[in-house]
Structure 1
Amino acid sequence: MMVLLASAGAFAQDVTVSGVVRDAASGEPVPFASIQIKGTLTGGSTDADGNYSILVTDDAVLIFSSIGYQSQEIEVGGRSSINVALQPDSEQLDETIVVAFGTTTKEAFTGSAKVLKSDELVKNQVTNVSEALVGKVAGVQFASASGRPGSTQTMYVRGYGSVNAGNSPLWVVDGVPYEGDINNINTADIESISVLKDAASNALYGARGANGVIMVTTKRAKSGEAKVTFDAKWGMNNKALRSYDLIDNAGEFYEMAYKSLYNNYTINGGMTAAEAYAQANALLTSTNAGGVGYNVYTVPDGQTLIGSNGRLNPNATLGRKVTYNGQEYLLYPDNWLDEIYKNSFRQEYNINVAGATDKSNFYASLGFLDNNGIIAGSSNNRLTARLRGDYQAKSWLKVGANMSYTHFVWNNGNDSDSEGAADGGNAFATAYMMAPIYPVYIRDGNGKIMKDQYGMDMYDSGDGRNGGALRTNGGQSNDLQDIQLNKYISEGNAFSANGFVDIDIVKGLKLTVNGSVNVDETRHTTMLNPYYGQFAESGGVVTKQHGREFAYNLQQLLSYTRTFGEVHNMNLLLGHEMYDRKSYGLYATRSGMFSYDNLELSGAVVDNSASGSSVSEYNNEGYFFRGQYDYDNRIYFSASYRRDASSRFHPDHRWGNFWSVGAAWILSDENWFNAPWVNMLKLKASYGSQGNDSISDYLYVDYYSISNDGSGGITTVFERKGNPEITWETNSNLNVGVEFGFWNDRLSGNIDFFNRKTSDMLFSLPVPVEAGYNSYYTNIGDMANRGVELELYADIVRTKDLVWSVNLNMTHYRNTLLRLPDEYKTNTTSDGKMTGLLDGNYFRSEGESFFSFYLPTYAGIDQATGQSMWYTYSTNAETDELQRTTTTNYSEASSNGREIQGDATPDLYGGFGTSLSWKGLDFSVNFTYQLGGLVYDSGYARFMGSPTGTSTGFTYHRDLWNSWTPTNTNTDIPRMSYGDTYSNAASDRFLTSASYLNIQNITLGYTLPQHITRKFLVDSFRIYLTCDNLWYWSARQGLDPRQSISGSTNPFYYAPVRTISGGITLTF
């Protein structure tokens, strides 16, 4: 049995008190219960069997507490033996939900929300809060195109709610709206996250809560605690997504390139096999149109690279020496993807100190993250600090403050603005598409990478420097060299502070005043190197951008709580909130750098006259009321109202009225309910209306730009027509659900049906050219998202030492465009059945999904010629009716053959997992998944095309080996033929299932027994191994449907990252 020492008072007698702490309901011991000497930070805890022994003064008061139990104060009174029975705390056992301007319990909540606690959040190795929510919350979709350190997920709560206004939820940190970068919030400081999804939950946030609200609560000391916690983890990052199954072998690539030339000569040119063989070999490695420019094989004299059978000459050897301008070079190919992506190191450290007495509470923390990216020059370094405290100054007065500071440095490596582009300047596109015949580096005759006059590796720019060979794609540059030499740096500081005062006026009546300030400052530096590339002649370019945001929020809350007749409970809230944010921007560019290491404007000598500044301001003000009533903690009612004003609308349309009502009934608490195996069954429903002001500033006024007219005067350009009539988009939300718990919560969960309708959607309407501007904004159009959510939790095994649990969440919903402006109904589908708006590969029409694909339908290939065929509609001359026929003319199919092909909305998405704990061992694994829906696989389409023009240096997908030939006609892949621009034309051929499965996280940990750690003055010691994004499956290797919810994909982004780490957590 453990003995805990405490200092005795100067004038009191010491006494050793011992005993056992048990559960009052079950009689079972309560292990590791906290014991605190009242009025001090001194105390201890029970051992694994609930036993304790502590040295105190004979007049001390001991506070016994444990999670899930009511705290109990006991006077020692000179006794040496005190046994304690802790009562289960129903309020603590109820899941606490942080809601708008307060908290509630799960049982009393009439809306729809999900709460994640800190122990769930810390399992994932995340750099921002949103990543910790992936797969954990029903009804929430995530999209992320880039795996770059510091990039953020895009979140959609219950579908896509707006076309031109924002879809992102509102973040609220410790009760204060937060519009800064969520990367600046250290996940280790978070106690809980509540995701609020319906109007009953969000209406009090008015205009800013229409797309859901994410409530973040930071940590504070728990009663009776005085401890230090230190966590450290070290790990490795690498590329998590496999590439498409591309031809990555030089010999195979030459064979494929030869095949396209040979087919062109025989099919289109009418040549004989022998003529085509000779002509294709002659052109293959030349720099003429159709050639690939490089030959990296040594072939015996008199022989060709490709034989008459279309295969690589078996006598060819990889690597070719050439002499150019007196220098011997070795042409040898590199794997560009292997060169751009590397393993990297990640480390993170967090320490916090927390303590509490009966009157005060404090929490302080420091955190450091060093997260190196998987391409050269990319990283995310972050230092965070937080200090939080509150003090019960008087019986009627409580004050508190919460301050945080973040310093960050992001190195982007590649230009983030170029990500996704399929051309030079985007290193990801260059590396992905580059044929496996091109070198990354210039090598001497012995194969050693050569150095330039600066001592740096020499990169092959495809400009003929290493033997006169010219690369046919990627420009006369090398994007992998650029990411080594160019710099894209963002450095900044974020500071936030908020304080509160609680005044208990009379019993049940409380006034709360909250105030907060947020300051975000970021300095961006772009340096385009002076050595190589397009800016070498100008001596390099330096661009500076500086942004600063200052925001403040003020809240005044008056709450009243009262119970009538023991069963009638009432809670009223009246409040006012004001928010203001001002943003400043400044930029300038200079060229002619004096030194590569001087990244300041003063270190460059040529003023490019590219400079400017900006300022914008947004403010919001609201008055609100909420009333809650429950009868005997069984039947609950709630109602809320907010009148909101937004500076983004004309003063005549600035104010909006938003409201919600909700009700819940706990059937299982009724006297007539007789089902012992049901411990909780609740019905709930809510409905409400919210506005959405997430639009650009100043859309209600005309917008002009000014410029120099060439003679020193000023000229103006009419850019945008303002519309003073634009106003709020309105979200109407219906939620009906049931929550349940069976067999003492061995099985629990909830089902929610939702109908989210957006009215008066903001559209950008086209106008005639003669108007002098392109478009203007107006409110017209409705859209709905209807669906159902399910969450299940089950304890398969629940014993004293062993707990095995499983969890599952799933969401099904449909998106429907209900009303479209008549001005937008400018197109009719090819079959004449539907009118709407043609928008790229989508058709926006009433009654259809907003993301309905509208593409030609692929009809296979013409077996005689190997050409692609598509369906088209034409009018039958005899019957004057539309008929569906096939054509090899893509222009005709694109104009007259498009059809609705389905939509991007998945049939089901969510997450599932399992956890196992046995004594000190813990294991968990969590998956994310998506079933159904369609995605346009643009990457696969690009790699399935025939070469055209000079774009012969792109690699191919291996599926092209099954393309049509005169001897391979049983295929649906068209022939490879140089110059065929339509072999991979957009059609439903490249629509692919959006289903995927991902192992989101696996964690294995072990916590040493306290009887061992206490010997080293350590309260708790845990060691663990964790892995994020361990394995991923989709319908096609290389395809990542998670990039967007619209069904568009692009492989030319920073790849998703897998992180494997080990760590320790110590508590003193």
Structure 2
Amino acid sequence: MEKRLMTLLAGTFLFAGSVMAQTNVSGTVTSGDDGEPVVGAAVKVEGTNTGTVTDVNGHFQLNAPAGAKLVVTYLGMKPQTVKAGGNMKVVLQNDNKTLDEVMVVAYGTQKKSTFTGSAAVVNSKDIAKVEVTNAVDALKGKAAGIQINTASGMPGSTPTIRIRGINSINAGSDPLIVVDGSPYDGSLNNINPADVESLTVLKDAASTALYGARGGNGVVLITTKSGRRGQATNITVDAKWGSNSRGVPYYNVIDSPAKYYEMWYQGLYNYGMNKLGYSADEAWKFANANMVDPSAENSYSLHYNVYTMPDGQMMIGKNGKLNPYATLGRYMTRNGASYYLTPDNWDDALYSNALRQEYTVTANGSTDRSTFYISGNYLDNEGITTASDYKRFTGRMKADYQLKPWLKIGGNGNYVHYNQNYLGDDGSSASSGNVFAMTYMAPIYPLYIRDGKGNIIYDTNSRLNMYDYGDQTQEVGYGLTRPYMTQTNPLSSNQLDTHNTEGNSFNGVGTIEVRLPYGFKITSINSVYLNEYRTTETTNPFFGQYKSSNGQVDKETWRTWAYNYQQLLDWTHSYGKHNISATFGHEYYRTRGYELYGSKSNQYSVFNKELAGAVVKGSANSYTTDYNDERYLGRVNYDYDGIYFLSGSWTREASSNFAPKNRWGSFWALGLGWMINKEKWFNASWVDELKLKASYGENGNDQIGSYRYITTYSITNSNDKVSLVPRSLGNEDISWEKNAKFNVGADFSLFNRRLYGSIEYYANKTRDMLMWFPLPASFGYTGYYSNVGNVLNDGVEIDLHGDIIRTKDLTWTMNANLTTNHNEITKLPAERRTQHLDYENQDGYSSSSYFYTQGSSIYSYYTKKYAGVDPNTGESLWYKTTYKKDENGNILKDANGHNVVDGLETTSNYSSADTYNVGDVMPDVYGGFGTSVNWKGIDFSIDFTYQLGGKVYDGTYAGLMSGNDAGFGMHTDLLNAWSKDNTTSNIPRIQYGDSYTAAGSDRFLTSASYLSLQNITLGYTLPTQWVRHLGIGSIRIYGVADNIWVWSKRQGLDPRQSISGGASSAYYSAVRTISGGITVNF
């Protein structure tokens, strides 16, 4: 008994001694490459199970016996064993032999080294550098093979995304968006960029085949942030404030009233001389008499005279210049009231710098069995014109819980409330927007009505300044009719009219994961998406097309819900050097949409924006849409010793867009990979990694809308009786477009990962295109779809990254990517080769501004050919085709019955000029490049995007080059128009009545090449020791500028506006944003 007691006491003292010998050890773990904290590094006491992981600042803290050693490890870095101590600083170096990044792929994750497909990844650090409303915009210039264009800079606008070209003429080319494993059909603006962990773009068949037809145009995987296992709770607060301004300068226009009057006079003078046969003196008097005559019923007159002239003197002298005694501003009397008429600067009044502010709070962390991520975001993005803005609140909660060692559940919910004000249509025809009116207004017209003292009159009805609507019937005002945009004032419209969309959306994902013996795992992912919004549009009763009906109210309510069910079975196993993984599953997706619309006119008050506030019933309508997609899928990946890789995918899919007999289709892919550097015979020490890869497979496309296989009718009212009007002709034989994709390339890392990247060649061939066949009006139906035709897209992608300097205190990296894409229609059915171009000897058909023929691009522009200016008359010239004739004057025919072409000749008759296929408008090369520097807490980066080749139709420039439309603005290039003293000019004469001076032709097809300074970011992270005693992990102060400048062929032209080569004649300018912010981590 005594011996046992002594043994117990000895053990107790030994235990107490060991406890007393425990010491508190703390420190930080950083990367030897860039000095950044290593988050999630494992720190373990050697020989024990005691350990922890580093937090978001790379900091760790634990108890260890005196003299103990710590083993610090992190995936992709060389482990370190160090002696425990106080305030330790551990630096981990990259281990390029073990570097194996895990990437998000279809229905799971995969080591990048084993991946045989083609994908581009942008992580949260790159997203955080740019100031965007939706995360996908962060891909601009960052990933090869991807084009992102936004047609409008209006707040809340969404981009167009194209991956490796345009695959179809009539079917959609949008990629599939997948958020946390589930298809997402909502607005990209509803995803807070701060919540996004990574964007992965899948481009080839090996990476997209499991998504079947929905992945035929590529897939964008959006993975949101999660809590990290073993990490203490981390709270981050980010606030930024900035200014929005016009990102693209306006065209060089004539902004002087005097110069504008002189130019308009010149057109009338030339008309009098050349068309009316007047003498010089008569033409001078004619032009002066008509150019500002308010009573003129013809289109000669500008109607507004904003100059005061000496009695009896002409406005324009015989030298074509403004009377030197003319003074700007004119007093006038109308209906017993005095007014002061003077022009305003419409551009300054309608455009101004605006505020952008955004606030984000996130919290993430974990317990021993769970992780969580919570975020809230508020964005207030004001537009650069009045009545345009976008406000958004988002909240996200994401968590998982390990119920059992074999069972884990998770949930992810995102709620968004958004409110957008946007510019609407304006003018008596409602065919042109407010931006259109601002763009083309001549510099002689006033925005406001001013009294006899020059003060702007206040309108008690609208409770605003009194605006000039260019309408002679306006009760208070100048009584003049503006020839351009009559009954219009865009600034008034912006303030009095309403164009608003307000909505709520929710996206929820629930997951159940069951791990079974022998490497099996069952996963169930179930998601639901709900979105409802209400659009309110009111048109004021004071001017415009609804003045006679005393205003109008339009209401639209739209509700969308979608759900997606996935059941996946995964299996992973290794047999020595043989590694195999497999995924099999089933997925079902359904979305339904409901629209309800109504309108009424004759408002009680312009400030009452409800249908109940108007009394005359207008139209009402509602409809429902429904789409279903189901698929069974399987994938097997095999690798031998990390050297040889093989992958195979198969999908069996059904779409409700097709008739039951053609609803199901099969899609597949095979991929191969070879890690050459791991071969025993390979001894190039400067090569860290070299993998060759190739893939081939087939996807589909069903993006033609619902019910196209069914003959549809419109239900109309015929004398209060139901009437059916044919709409579209159904075709039950239509089925999937099929897109065969081939990809071959290499991934490499060289010189201790100083240079790494990839180079790939791709060829995507679409066959059995879903093509629209229009029908003559006599058929009653508009047309039908049929599977015909082939399209090829092929090109090269190069993606390079380089670490120029990589030391503890200083890192300097560079990146660049390049994409070429050749687009060609390789097969066009005889039924669509209805039009023959004699000069090009091409058969095809024209639609809109394009000509579709075998051997040409989908976007081959079809227009007249400009031949310059007749040096003798100054008239515009265009080309027409001439033909060979026999001795009797008959045009010769070739063996196919086509006219035999002799050549080209010029004509001044636009109508008799021929229309030609003038070539591909798509770019030859596009991409991006940039660099970043980090030095002792200072971070700096700059990024560019670029495009080389291609054409864009500059419609705005064409409109400004007319010189023939009264009240239209004019480009300064018109100052160099043809004249008797300038006969070599390529710009035709300015003459009233020359209706086709700026008619559509390749004269206005302009180079689409550009260089855009996309982003500059400069930040400073305060030293940790400065803020740690405050309970703060880190503070970063930064400035960021986005969309800073674009260099293009012509000032004002923004080729980024369109992928198809068409530029709107008036658009909301891209917006430059410059902001400052602060990020605080607790």
TM-score of the superposed pair, with normalisation by structure 1 = 0.93
What is the CA-CA distance between 1:856 and the residue it aligns to? Answer: 2.6
What is the CA-CA distance between 1:553 and the residue it aligns to? Answer: 0.6
Q: 1:262 aligns with which of 262, 265, 269?
A: 269
One-letter amino acid of the structure 1 residue matched with residue 680 of structure 2? N
One-letter amino acid of the structure 1 residue matched with residue 351 of structure 2? Y
What is the CA-CA distance between 1:538 and the residue it aligns to? Answer: 2.7
CA contact (8 A) 2:332 2:338 kept: yes
What is the CA-CA distance between 1:890 and the residue it aligns to? Answer: 3.2
Report the Cα distance in structure 2 between the residues aligned to 1:968 and 1:82, rounded to whole angstroms.
Answer: 79
Aligned match of 2:901: 882
Q: Mean alpha-carbon deviation: is it higher for 912-921 or for 441-450? A: 441-450
SS of structure 2 residue aligned to 1:507: helix
Q: 1:622 aligns with which of 621, 626, 631?
A: 631
The reply to whether residue 978 of structure 1 matches residue 1020 of structure 2 is: no
The reply to whether residue 939 of structure 1 matches residue 939 of structure 2 is: no
Aligned match of 2:805: 797
- The Cα offsets for residues 924-978 of structure 1, whole Å up to 9 and x where unpaired, read as 110111011111212111111131xxx4010111111111112211211111110
Report the Cα distance in structure 2 between the residues aligned to 1:677 and 1:72, rounded to whole angstroms.
Answer: 24
Q: 1:641 to 1:568 in 2, by over 3 A?
A: same
Once the two structures are superposed, the pairs formed by residues 539-578 of structure 1 within 5 Å of their partners are 539-565=550-576, 567-578=577-588
CA contact (8 A) 1:871 1:884 kept: no
The reply to whether residue 1033 of structure 1 matches residue 1047 of structure 2 is: yes
Q: Mean alpha-carbon deviation: is it higher for 20-29 or for 145-154? A: 20-29
Any stretches of 5+ residues in structure 2 without a counterpart? Answer: 1-15, 893-899
One-letter amino acid of the structure 1 residue matched with residue 371 of structure 2? N
Aligned match of 1:843: 851
What is the CA-CA distance between 1:591 and the residue it aligns to? Answer: 2.1
Aligned match of 2:1017: 1003
Aligned match of 2:941: 924
Report the Cα distance in structure 2 between the residues aligned to 1:336 and 1:105, rounded to whole angstroms.
Answer: 57
The reply to whether residue 508 of structure 1 matches residue 519 of structure 2 is: yes
What is the CA-CA distance between 1:17 and the residue it aligns to? Answer: 2.3
Aligned match of 1:432: 439
CA contact (8 A) 2:869 2:876 kept: yes
Report the Cα distance in structure 1 between the residues aligned to 2:40 and 2:400, rounded to whole angstroms.
Answer: 24
One-letter amino acid of the structure 2 residue matched with residue 909 of structure 1? Y
Report the Cα distance in structure 2 between the residues aligned to 1:255 and 1:36, rounded to whole angstroms.
Answer: 80
The reply to whether residue 285 of structure 1 matches residue 292 of structure 2 is: yes
CA contact (8 A) 1:21 1:46 kept: no
The reply to whether residue 716 of structure 1 matches residue 724 of structure 2 is: yes
Q: 1:952 to 1:354 in 2, by over 3 A?
A: same
Once the two structures are superposed, the pairs formed by residues 450-849 of structure 1 within 5 Å of their partners are 450-454=457-461, 455-464=463-472, 465-565=476-576, 567-608=577-618, 610-710=619-719, 712-831=720-839, 833-849=841-857
- The Cα offsets for residues 652-671 of structure 1, whole Å up to 9 and x where unpaired, read as 00000000000111111111
Aligned match of 2:9: none
SS of structure 2 residue aligned to 1:122: helix
Report the Cα distance in structure 1 between the residues aligned to 2:25 and 2:254, rounded to whole angstroms.
Answer: 74
Q: 1:541 to 1:46 in 2, by over 3 A?
A: closer
Aligned match of 2:152: 146
What is the CA-CA distance between 1:892 and the residue it aligns to? Answer: 5.1
One-letter amino acid of the structure 1 residue matched with residue 794 of structure 2? R
Q: 1:611 to 1:18 in 2, by over 3 A?
A: same
Q: 1:431 to 1:665 in 2, by over 3 A?
A: same
- The Cα offsets for residues 584-623 of structure 1, whole Å up to 9 and x where unpaired, read as 1111112233333332222222222x11111121111100
Q: 2:319 aligns with which of 295, 301, 309?
A: 309
Report the Cα distance in structure 2 between the residues aligned to 1:675 and 1:23, rounded to whole angstroms.
Answer: 30
One-letter amino acid of the structure 2 residue matched with residue 354 of structure 1? N
Q: 1:93 to 1:319 in 2, by over 3 A?
A: farther
Q: Mean alpha-carbon deviation: is it higher for 712-721 or for 217-226? A: 217-226
Q: 1:1012 to 1:20 in 2, by over 3 A?
A: closer
CA contact (8 A) 1:16 1:80 kept: no
Aligned length: 1045
Aligned match of 2:6: none
SS of structure 1 residue aligned to 2:254: coil
CA contact (8 A) 2:35 2:809 kept: no
Q: 2:1005 aligns with which of 959, 977, 991?
A: 991
Q: 1:19 to 1:242 in 2, by over 3 A?
A: closer
Aligned match of 2:307: 297
Q: 1:367 aligns with which of 356, 359, 377?
A: 377
CA contact (8 A) 1:590 1:601 kept: yes
Q: Mean alpha-carbon deviation: is it higher for 610-619 or for 1020-1029? A: 610-619
Percent identity among equivalent residues? 45
Q: 1:214 aligns with which of 209, 214, 220?
A: 220
Any stretches of 5+ residues in structure 1 without a counterpart? Answer: 1-8
One-letter amino acid of the structure 2 residue matched with residue 735 of structure 1? N
Q: 1:170 to 1:33 in 2, by over 3 A?
A: closer
Aligned match of 1:1012: 1026
The reply to whether residue 274 of structure 1 matches residue 281 of structure 2 is: yes
One-letter amino acid of the structure 2 residue matched with residue 441 of structure 1? Y
SS of structure 2 residue aligned to 1:753: strand
SS of structure 1 residue aligned to 2:464: coil
CA contact (8 A) 1:352 1:363 kept: yes
- The Cα offsets for residues 234-276 of structure 1, whole Å up to 9 and x where unpaired, read as 0011111111111111011001000100111111222111111
Aligned match of 1:4: none
SS of structure 1 residue aligned to 2:973: helix
One-letter amino acid of the structure 2 residue matched with residue 1023 of structure 1? I
Report the Cα distance in structure 2 between the residues aligned to 1:25 and 1:391, rounded to whole angstroms.
Answer: 34
Report the Cα distance in structure 1 between the residues aligned to 2:821 and 2:34, rounded to whole angstroms.
Answer: 47
RMSD: 3.0
Report the Cα distance in structure 2 between the residues aligned to 1:88 and 1:911, rounded to whole angstroms.
Answer: 27
Report the Cα distance in structure 1 between the residues aligned to 2:1063 and 2:1026, rounded to whole angstroms.
Answer: 53
- The Cα offsets for residues 413-469 of structure 1, whole Å up to 9 and x where unpaired, read as 334xx79x9976511111111110000111112221111123310000112343332
Q: Mean alpha-carbon deviation: is it higher for 116-125 or for 524-533? A: 524-533
Q: 1:137 aligns with which of 126, 138, 143?
A: 143
CA contact (8 A) 2:209 2:650 kept: yes
Q: 1:944 to 1:82 in 2, by over 3 A?
A: closer
What is the CA-CA distance between 1:64 and the residue it aligns to? Answer: 6.0
One-letter amino acid of the structure 1 residue matched with residue 244 of structure 2? N
TM-score of the superposed pair, with normalisation by structure 2 = 0.92
What is the CA-CA distance between 1:69 and the residue it aligns to? Answer: 4.8
- The Cα offsets for residues 73-100 of structure 1, whole Å up to 9 and x where unpaired, read as 9999xx9999989796879943332111
One-letter amino acid of the structure 1 residue matched with residue 481 of structure 2? L
Once the two structures are superposed, the pairs formed by residues 902-917 of structure 1 within 5 Å of their partners are 902-917=919-934
Aligned match of 2:8: none
Report the Cα distance in structure 1 between the residues aligned to 2:368 and 2:93, rounded to whole angstroms.
Answer: 20
The reply to whether residue 187 of structure 1 matches residue 193 of structure 2 is: yes
Report the Cα distance in structure 1 between the residues aligned to 2:691 and 2:1002, rounded to whole angstroms.
Answer: 46
The reply to whether residue 860 of structure 1 matches residue 868 of structure 2 is: yes
What is the CA-CA distance between 1:988 and the residue it aligns to? Answer: 1.8
Report the Cα distance in structure 2 between the residues aligned to 1:252 and 1:224, rounded to whole angstroms.
Answer: 72
Q: Mean alpha-carbon deviation: is it higher for 99-108 or for 211-220? A: 99-108
- The Cα offsets for residues 388-420 of structure 1, whole Å up to 9 and x where unpaired, read as 1111211111111111111111111334xx79x
SS of structure 2 residue aligned to 1:973: coil
One-letter amino acid of the structure 2 residue matched with residue 865 of structure 1? T
Q: 2:453 aligns with which of 403, 424, 446?
A: 446
The reply to whether residue 408 of structure 1 matches residue 418 of structure 2 is: yes
